A and B are shown apart, each in its own frame.
Chain A
């Protein structure tokens, strides 16, 4: 019982972290129909932004999370305008090549600038509680609660704000969105920025709960893709559910059996989901 509580909390926090990355990726895909391979690099840079802010400079933790999100929002928006916008409407292979190039450039420079040793970000919250023998750290609880809050905020933004409406409209049909007066180019960089910032916040979680290295982006991208495909391309809810599923598998199976089995089982679950629902759990048909 106590094991389950502990594994459950670990799985939840891990799952929410995966979900944040995947929601960002699915948002970028949904709005722009491009595959952003360097999304994991935004996750990595977000983590190091908080690392330097909080661990090196000793500035306040939560302000650092906001700083990281803001910085990576700007980076994402600039990348969209400078690199991806000129390729809009061209063969998808161009943007694919650009994002792959970004992976190499960013993770390579990351290794040069940040060094190759593993780093951690000190806790913002200390202590924990014992429930029936299970130790639940406040840090994990607070971080999980904050990421749930963020996901709800994003959801509400997409559902209820005018810009959120515009993002959904552009995702569905950019030409018709333009006919409503929406500046699709503006929506593109906004969505790219928000998506990247989500990954950055996940990077902050990673640095706080686990540890970070400049090469961690690649695996994050792969995990995010697995989740997005499982949840359904372009679906925010799908990315959330998919992230939680993967997080729980990772936590429970790694603790009870082994990490290798957790990876294999993740693929089996995704495979089964796709057999029964080829466009993912919450997938729409993107013509």
Chain B
């Protein structure tokens, strides 16, 4: 297993946000984590990324325990987080945002190449490279957020609700991009409230309810599961 989460607990003071969650991601795979507002999805990603200290449980990467390591070290391992709500550095330019995604990289040529690759992937960003990131539309900001994460040359991408607040056209574009990234061999943990989209993009799904996994299985099966359909697919 590339990434393994075992019996993870996250507390905020007395609030139990995550209660004994276990998940696994294979190399080259895409797993999704779906659930309602406040179910604990972001808390799980934050615990993996080192932004929150889990109160119990462990996270393993390539078999090695990485629980509780600081965020800047986790990025260095290749686990890169595209946070909920993009979280761009709004006062910095698009290009600066991309540059900072490669903060731990000291190879200038590779960094320049990485920026070019992002621009090739999202040509609109080349046009807007010198604008403050905060001035871009929601969809363009999501491109910058994903581009910034790709600059770190990730092995695992943790994506927290990439479709949030985007237009249907833009959602299609992000979905196509996720398929492309997966085809290129990247392993992805996709957190979504848009369950049907997430299940279509992934191999395996976990349904999170108030901090615990209520249901899990092959995404194709979950898509046709009547319970999932009723609760999450609006059927």
Say yes or no: A182 contacts B72, CB within 8 Å.
yes
Chain B, range 140-159, C-beta contacts under 8 Å to A: 148, 152
Say whether A264 faces chain B, with CB atoms less than 8 Å apart.
no
* Structural contact, A165 and B99, CB atoms closer than 8 A: yes
Contact B81 A179 (CB under 8 A): yes
The answer, yes or no, to whether B209 is at the interface (CB within 8 Å) is no
Contact of A180 among B51, B90, B91, B100 (CB under 8 A): B100
Interface check A169, CB cutoff 8 A: yes
Contact between A181 and B72, CB atoms less than 8 A apart: yes
User: Nearest Cβ distance between residue B35 and chain A, in whole angstroms?
Assistant: 22
Bound-complex Cα distance A180 to B99 (A): 10
Question: Interface residue tally of chain B, by bracket?
Answer: 20 to 34
Q: Which of B72, B76, B91, B96 has the most CB of A within 10 A?
A: B72
Q: Does A172 contact B (CB under 8 A)?
A: yes
A179 touches B99 (CB 8 A): no
Q: What 0/1 pattern do residues 117 to 149 of B give for CB contact below 8 A with A?
A: 000000000000000000000000000000010
Q: A169-B92, A182-B72 are in contact. Are A176 and B152 (CB under 8 A)?
A: no
A184 to chain B, nearest CB (A): 8
The answer to whether A166 and B51 touch across the interface, beta carbons within 8 angstroms, is no
Find chain A residues with CB under 8 A from B70 CB: 178, 183
Question: Known contacts being A179-B51, A182-B72, is A166 close to B91, with CB within 8 Å?
Answer: no
A162 vs B81: C-alpha distance in the bound complex, in angstroms? Answer: 21
What A residues does B81 contact at CB under 8 A?
179
A 146-168 to B, binary, CB cutoff 8 A, 1 in contact else 0? 00000000000000001001101
Chain A residues near B103: list those with CB within 8 A: 162, 165-166, 180-182
> How many whole Å from A236's CB to the nearest CB in chain B?
12
- Taken together as a complex, chains A and B put the C-alpha atoms of A180 and B79 apart, in Å, by 10
In the complex, A179 Cα to B103 Cα: how many Å? 10
With both beta carbons as reference points, the residue of chain B lying nearest to A175 in the complex is identified as B51
A179 touches B75 (CB 8 A): yes
B89 in the interface (beta carbon within 8 A): yes
A91 to chain B, nearest CB (A): 15
Q: Is the CB of A173 within 8 A of B72?
A: no
Say if the beta carbon of B179 comes within 8 Å of chain A: no
Q: Select from chain A the residue with minimum beta-carbon distance to B86.
A: A176
Q: Is the CB of A178 within 8 A of B72?
A: yes
Question: Which residues of chain B have C-beta atoms less than 8 A from A172's C-beta?
Answer: 89-92
The answer to whether the Cβ of B101 comes within 8 Å of any Cβ in the partner chain is yes
**8 Å CB interface, A182-196 against B:** 182-184
Chain A residues with CB under 8 Å of B104's CB are: 180-181
Option from A162, A165, A179, A182 in Cβ contact (under 8 Å) with B92: A165
As a 0/1 sequence over residues 87 to 111 of chain B, the CB contacts with chain A under 8 angstroms (1 = contact) are: 1011110001001110110000000
- Asked if B83 lies at the interface with its beta carbon under 8 angstroms from chain A, I say yes
Chain A residues in 8 Å Cβ range of B83:
176, 179
A284 at the interface (CB under 8 A from B): yes
Q: Mark A93-122, 1 if CB is under 8 A from B, else 0.
A: 000000000000000000000000000000
Distance in Å: Cβ of B70 to nearest Cβ of chain A: 7
Task: Encode A245-287 as 1/0 by CB contact (under 8 A) with B.
Answer: 0000000000000000000000000000000000000001000
Which chain A residue shows the least CB distance to B85?
Answer: A176
**Chain A residue at smallest Cβ distance from B101:** A180
Enumerate chain B residues within 8 angstroms of A184, measured Cβ to Cβ.
72
Residues of chain A having any CB pair with chain B under 8 Å: 162, 165-166, 168-169, 172-173, 175-184, 284
**Which 3 pairs between the two chains have the least Cβ-Cβ distance?**
A178-B71, A181-B104, A181-B75
Interface of B toward A, CB cutoff 8 Å: 49-51, 70-72, 75-76, 80-81, 83, 87, 89-92, 96, 99-101, 103-104, 148, 152
